[in-house]
Amino acid sequence: MKKVDLVFIIGPGAGHLVPYIEFAKHLLDRDDCFSVTVLLMDSPFGPSPSAAHTKSLAESNTSIRFINVSPPVDYCPSQEVHKSFEKFMTEYIDCHRACVKEAIATHVLSSSNSAPLAVLVVDFFCTSMIDVGNEFGVPSYLSSPSSAAAVGLLLYLPTRHDRVGREIEEFDGDLVIASYVNPVPSSGLPDVLLNKHGGYTTFMNHGRRFKETKGIIVNTFEELESHAAKSLKKDFDHMPPVYTIGPMIDLKSESDKLVLDVTERDKILKWLDNRPDSSVVFLCFGSQGSFGEEQAKQIAVGLEQSGVRFLWSIRKPPPKDKVRRPNDYKSDHLQEVLPNGFLERTKKIGLVCGWAPQKAVFAHKSVRGFVSHCGWNSILESLWFGVPTVTWPMYAEQQINAFQMVTDLGLGVELRLHYRIMNGEVMVADEIARAIKCVMESDNEVRKKVKEKSEKSRLVVMEGGSSYAAFGDLIDDILRNKAMKDT
């Protein structure tokens, strides 16, 4: 069969980029009739680790074509980023529409080496690019790096707004959202949905456009989110097909090449090699997760109180210009925020590092628990390797992920569900020590459930598994749409 091209349109940020590249790699492995072109946008905040990450991915995935799309020089946001980051980013992405259209026309449609364009695959921040697909007469598929339940949350917003006619208030109480098993407290929703400076409206508008796509691709699996997956198919009107094709995990750890050199990686893994089996708790809070001095000291005291062996990936808060520098990830620049004598007192039981090779750490036999910001990628990785999570959400959709993990699925140990780093909250040492001791217990229900989901996560992506079948259905649908367009 003649090859057909899929164009991926991805917003800035490593958290979005990684699952999309994994999806593209799996797609190419499953069927050689596809080629993939990825359109990338620079960060509006200048150079960042994401740029280095993109370069690394491009060099290691030569079968995927990467094209950078620059914004127009006259871009002018309607408001400051601090009022609503999500509104700012959506406007920034929207201003790329003409540039994206030109890039597709130049590099895909007009190139003699390109396969015919079949579909656009758009990030959930990039729903305005559905219009570009319409102009070219090709369907758009939405791909979500978040959970199926979170997709349901965004679909809920316009339905609720049409009925209630106002934004969500923090003290609205429990909300019945079809994709969640239990009522969701309004106080536990992501900050963006409580933002009256455009955040709520921005996400409501994204959710409204989801139904204009030809299909919704979600990095999850039915056996993990059975309730949410069923809900997306039966509780929302005029829904396109939903394809649960996860977990999409970079098992070769290409994403760890971002800022982690081989020497640092080897140091961390050698330290783990010298620890007893199932004795270490791993603390890591994502590519943007960082704490001020007061919170870092409370974590350190909590670790000492717990008496548990630990590996702690710690980063300084970003500078005022919000652009991370490489040294923000290096442990020798972070000692200033730790209590006096902490490193010396804990040198036999703990290691403090900058960036950590997360998947290699999860896979290590000495690691038993994970204190996490509850990013969806990290949740899927910890489940894959059977490592139970302590929930410490910080930003984005992490509060609702923590709620789902603890309340709906019983797969997490609660430290906090509603923690909001932007509110200046400080988690005290006693809370931290209690949660760490809990997740390290030898026999608890959470650990049993996580082990079960770990086994299922590996089966679903194999031939005969639910995600393998959903991937096949997606491929058939794309090719069927292309065939119908050609007739």
Note the pLDDT tens digit of each residue in 346-383.
999 999 998 899 999 999 999 999 999 999 999 999 99
The mean per-residue pLDDT over the stretch 225-234 comes to: 96
The mean per-residue pLDDT over the stretch 281-300 comes to: 89
CATH of domain 261-457: 3.40.50.2000
Angle between helices 226-234 and 148-164 (to 10 degrees): 40
DSSP state of 333: G
All CATH 3.40.50.2000 domain ranges in the chain, comma separated: 4-246+461-486, 261-457
Q: What is the pLDDT of residue 417?
A: 86
Contacts of 1 by beta carbon, 8 Å cutoff, 6+ apart = 33
Which tens digit of pLDDT belongs to each residue from 417-468?
888 777 778 999 999 999 999 999 977 899 999 999 999 999 999 999 999 9
Contacts of 32 by beta carbon, 8 Å cutoff, 6+ apart = 3
Judged by DSSP in three states, 289 sits in coil
Judged by DSSP in three states, 391 sits in strand
Residue 326: pLDDT band (50, 70, 90) is: very low
Give the strand pairing for 280-284 and 367-372: parallel
Q: Give the tokens for residue 424.
A: 């200046």
Which tens digit of pLDDT belongs to each residue from 100-133?
999 999 999 986 666 889 999 999 999 999 999 9
Domain 4-246+461-486 falls in which CATH fold? Rossmann fold (3.40.50)
Q: What is the pLDDT of residue 198?
A: 94
455: how many CB neighbours lie within 10 A of its CB? 11
447 phi and psi angles, rounded to 5 deg: -60, -40
Q: What is the pLDDT of residue 213?
A: 97
> Amino acid identity, residue 88?
F
How many angstroms from the chain centroid is the CA of residue 44? 20
Residue 286: pLDDT band (50, 70, 90) is: confident
Higher pLDDT, 142 or 258: 142
Report the alpha-carbon distance of residue 402 to residue 391 in Å, rounded.
Answer: 6
Contacts of 200 by beta carbon, 8 Å cutoff, 6+ apart = 157, 167, 168, 192, 193, 194
Which tens digit of pLDDT belongs to each residue from 30-80?
998 999 999 998 888 765 555 556 656 655 666 899 999 988 787 888 888
User: Are the C-beta atoms of 478 and 6 separated by less than 8 Å?
Assistant: yes
Judged by DSSP in three states, 369 sits in strand
User: Are the C-beta atoms of 38 and 62 separated by less than 8 Å?
Assistant: no
Q: How many residues are listed for the chain in this entry? A: 487
Place of tokens 């409580």: 194
Q: What is the pLDDT of residue 70?
A: 83
pLDDT above 90 for 158: yes
pLDDT above 60 for 328: no
Q: What is the pLDDT of residue 63?
A: 81
User: Are the C-beta atoms of 54 and 17 separated by less than 8 Å?
Assistant: yes
User: Are the C-beta atoms of 236 and 213 separated by less than 8 Å?
Assistant: no
How many angstroms from the chain centroid is the CA of residue 137? 30
Q: What is the pLDDT of residue 15?
A: 66
The percent of residues in the chain predicted with pLDDT above 70, rounded, is 88
76-80, 196-200, 398-402, 434-438: lowest mean pLDDT where?
76-80
Average pLDDT, the chain: 89
Most confident of 47-51, 334-338, 387-391: 387-391
Q: Give the tokens for residue 151.
A: 């997709």
β-sheet bridge partners, residue 119: 6
